[in-house]
Amino acid sequence: MNYFRTAMLLAAMTALFMFVGFLIGGQSGMVIALLIAGAMNLFSYWNSDKMVLRMHHAQEVDERQAPELVGMVRTMAQRADLPMPKVYVINNPQPNAFATGRNPQNAAVAATTGLLNSLSKEEVAGVMAHELAHIKNHDTLIMTITATIAGAVSMLANFAFFFGGSRDNNNPLGFVGVILMMILAPLAASLVQMAISRTREYSADKMGAQICGNPLWLASALNKIAGGAARIPNADAENNPATAHMFIINPLSGERMDNLFSTHPNTDNRIAALRQMAGDMGSGGGMGFSTPRGQSSAPARGPQGEAPRGPWGAQQPRKPRGPWG
């Protein structure tokens, strides 16, 4: 059902784009609009991952720099029957994460330092499993296409203001219709884009819980990330709001409702669904990331200790070494 809804929403996005092109220049305008969209999608297909990672100043890490984080991703990628994605860390205090890439063979997962410092190993495992689920479901490509078409709709609507209206006999709505189109077409495209994003998040939650083996890990992580995102601003995301739908929790301020204008489902609804899933499958042991007896899985100052040597800095002497290296 989720795939069907996604296909229908993509069809609606495409139809909207063609309609705007038709209003501007009739059938020829519709063809030109599709050619423009095709060129934009082709460019995004090959470069979207690099663009998004650069927007958020992500740094690639390997086993030497972040052995446990990379090892965790590798283990879950094997469980999900996926190629090993590239692993990135974003030096940002807001706990969050996203996946990108045109296909599983060219994918990447990225986590912020805020996420690695504030979540336990089990919770980070749940988050990484969620992002791998997006890759396995090809959601990263779907979201790239929808974002590109939404941007193209806005571009065409602005183009119509200068070249459409009563000056173009192919436009049956006249100049007033063009003004309305400038307002309503980008809004409609954004609504469809958000609806697709919300649909894919629920699917990724379910598959991510299956990959890591314990839905409660992801449920606990979502609760912590939502609280952190509400308190801690993400400057890069605010400067690039078109990428907000890629994160596991909306990184922008002011998005707390499960309605047409939210890029993500309501977090409480997602947590409730995961808890229901845990009840149905039993509280399994997960992937073996449990904390040794006598130690807390969520230290007061985060899983990296008081002076962590994460993939973004050097370890100080005589201080605890955290799970991410």
Tokens of 293: 């007896």
CB 133 within 8 A of CB 234: no
Q: What confidence tens digit (pLDDT) does each residue in 265-279 have?
A: 889 999 999 999 999
Give the burial class of 73: count Cβ atoms within 10 A of its Cβ; 0-12 exposed, 13-18 middle, 19 or more buried. Answer: buried
pLDDT of residue 181: 66
- Residue 61 DSSP SS3: strand
pLDDT of residue 6: 61
Residues 6+ apart with CB under 8 A from 187: none
- Indicate the angle between helix axes 121-136 and 215-231, nearest 10 degrees: 100
What span, in angstroms and rounded, lies between the C-alpha atoms of 70 and 88?
9
Tokens 């991703």 belong to residue:
73
Q: How far is CA 224 from the centre of its chain?
A: 17
pLDDT of residue 275: 95
CB 305 within 8 A of CB 321: yes
**pTM of the prediction?**
0.74
Low-confidence ranges of the chain (pLDDT < 50): 165-169, 255-260, 290-323
**Strand 58-61 to strand 97-101: parallel, antiparallel, or no bridges (unpaired)?**
unpaired
Give pairs for 169-175: CB < 8 Å, separation 24+. Answer: 170/22, 170/23, 170/24, 170/25, 170/26, 170/29, 171/23, 171/24, 172/23, 173/23
What span, in angstroms and rounded, lies between the C-alpha atoms of 175 and 97?
44
Phi and psi (nearest 5°) for 318? 60, 30
Active site residues: 131
- Residue 11 DSSP SS3: helix
pLDDT of residue 289: 52
Binding residues: 130, 134, 201
pLDDT of residue 180: 66
Q: What confidence tens digit (pLDDT) does each residue in 62-99 have?
A: 999 999 999 999 999 999 999 999 999 999 999 999 99
Binding residues for Zn(2+): 130, 134, 201
